[in-house]
Amino acid sequence: MTEHTKWERVSGNEEEAERIYRKSRSFLGDVWFRFRHKPTALCGFILVLILLVFCLAGPFFTPYTYSEQNNKMASIPPLLTVYPGPEEGSYLYITQGMKLIEVDNEGNLVRQLKKKKDDNAQKRTSFVWDDDTLVYLDYSRLPNTVLDKEGNRIEVSQKKWNHTYLLGTDQLGRDILTRLMYGTRISLMVAFIAALVNMVIGIAYGGISGYLGGRTDTIMMRIVDIISTIPLTLYVILIKMCLDDGLLSIIIALSSVYWVDMARVVRGEMLSLKNQEFVLAARTIGSSTKTILLNHLIPNAMGPILVTVTMLIPSAIFMEAFMSFIGIGIAPPMASLGTMCNDATETLRTNPYQLFLPALVICVIMFAFNFVGDGLRDALDPKLKK
């Protein structure tokens, strides 16, 4: 006991020597700091924001609705090939249905001309411009063109950007830009809801399985194995078949499938976390299982969970698009990126832009979320702390 006097109480000064040396930064601040300094992640994040503005605010700025059809204006591309019209500053556009549309100097589609007579012998069709002027569409040889006042073919065409339908129309005459906005909105909504539901199911299932461990874990994971051996696509199609068409059923179908991955991720995290000393400490304290799961395990597993969710969003979007594409997704006239692609395949040769545009948006969404997910993974990895 006398030995104890060898230890004397340290003075305050020495204690000050071990003061906090790192700048105080909360966990989230830390993550944001690292996320911000990764160009691809930031780029993806900005893209996601742009997409959100596009699909949420966009529809307020277009005069069209996603379902409004205009047969006269069907399949008009964004870039018009126009010929000079009878008046100064007026142009004529030949539709795929061999009709004439008057286009003004800015590229606005003014009106569709009324057809007067089809002259089969001369292979030309006459259209009424006004009361005493006719214009002729010549289809004697390709490319089809308009005749000038002397009756000669006008061989020189001009290109004009479509100002009325910025991204053109589909084969039913619906504005593609507007449909893209609604399509993105639906795709993102389906993906977000599916991701959220998957997250909840996956965390609950994986959390319980991993935390309880032992035989419960084995049984629960075998069930997951069985579910995941059925090809995902087939499974979604089956669920979809049993339910009605529509948004809800597609969300249910997607939500009930992807949680398998999430459950695996969460379980793995639980297994490695539950033997860490802070969890043991919580158990020696006597904290309830609920507290241990909610306050200790899940917050510490949040990194991989978030990454899995952001990676899950693009695959849910793709799956939704794919289902809509093969015709078991969103029911018309509702637009989704997949149904738009599907509609476009019929006229792929003549109107490739109708497929290209929604496909491009799908690509952008997938890229954006993958970049964000990638950035999050790096940012959440505490080993990279700078």
Partner 1 sequence: MNRQPPVLQVEGLTKHFPVSGHKVVHAVDDVSFSVSRGKTLGLVGESGCGKSSCARTIIRIYEPTAGRILLDGEEISTLNQKQLLPYRKKMQMIFQDPYASLNARMTVHDIIAEPLRAHRVCSSRQEENEMVSDMLARVGLNKEHANRYAHEFSGGQRQRVGIARALILKPELVICDEPISALDVSIQAQVVNMLRHFQEELALTYLFIAHDLSMVRYVSDDVGVMYLGQLVEKCEADEIYRHPLHPYTVGLLSSIPVPNPRMAKAREKSGLEGDLPSPIDPPAGCRFHTRCPYATEQCRQEMPQLKEASSGHFVACHRIFNR
Can you give the binding site for partner 1, defined by CB under 8 A?
1, 3-4, 6-10, 14-15, 18-22, 24-27, 276-278, 280-288, 291, 295-296, 299-300, 302, 382
DSSP 8-state assignment for residue 108: -
Q: Shortest gap between Cβ of 377 and partner 1 (angstroms)? A: 17
Residue 115 CB contacts under 8 Å (≥ 6 apart), including other chains = 99, 125, 126, 127, 128
Q: Which is nearer to partner 1, 32 or 278 (CB)?
A: 278
Residue number, 82 or 199, with CB nearest to partner 1: 199
Residue 125, classed as helix, strand or coil, is strand
Least Å distance, CB 286 to partner 1, is 4
* Shortest distance in whole angstroms from residue 10 CB to partner 1: 5
Residue closer to partner 1 (CB basis): 14 or 131: 14
Query: 37: which 2 tokens?
Result: 């300094």
For residue 3, the Cα-to-chain-centroid distance in whole angstroms is: 71
Nearer of residues 89 and 214 to partner 1, judged by Cβ = 214
CB of 8 to partner 1, least distance (A): 8
Secondary structure of residue 78 in the 3-state scheme: coil
Please give the DSSP secondary-structure letter assigned to residue 104. E
Residue 113 and residue 202 in contact, taking contact as beta carbons nearer than 8 Å: no
Least separation in angstroms between CB 271 and partner 1: 16
The distance of closest approach from Cβ of residue 30 to partner 1 in the complex, given in angstroms and rounded to an integer, is 9
Is 15 or 155 the residue whose CB approaches partner 1 more closely?
A: 15
Closest C-alpha among 381, 361, 383 to residue 181 = 361
**Nearer to partner 1 among residue 28 and residue 142 (C-beta):** 28
Strands 145-146 and 133-138: antiparallel
CB 378 within 8 A of CB 358: no
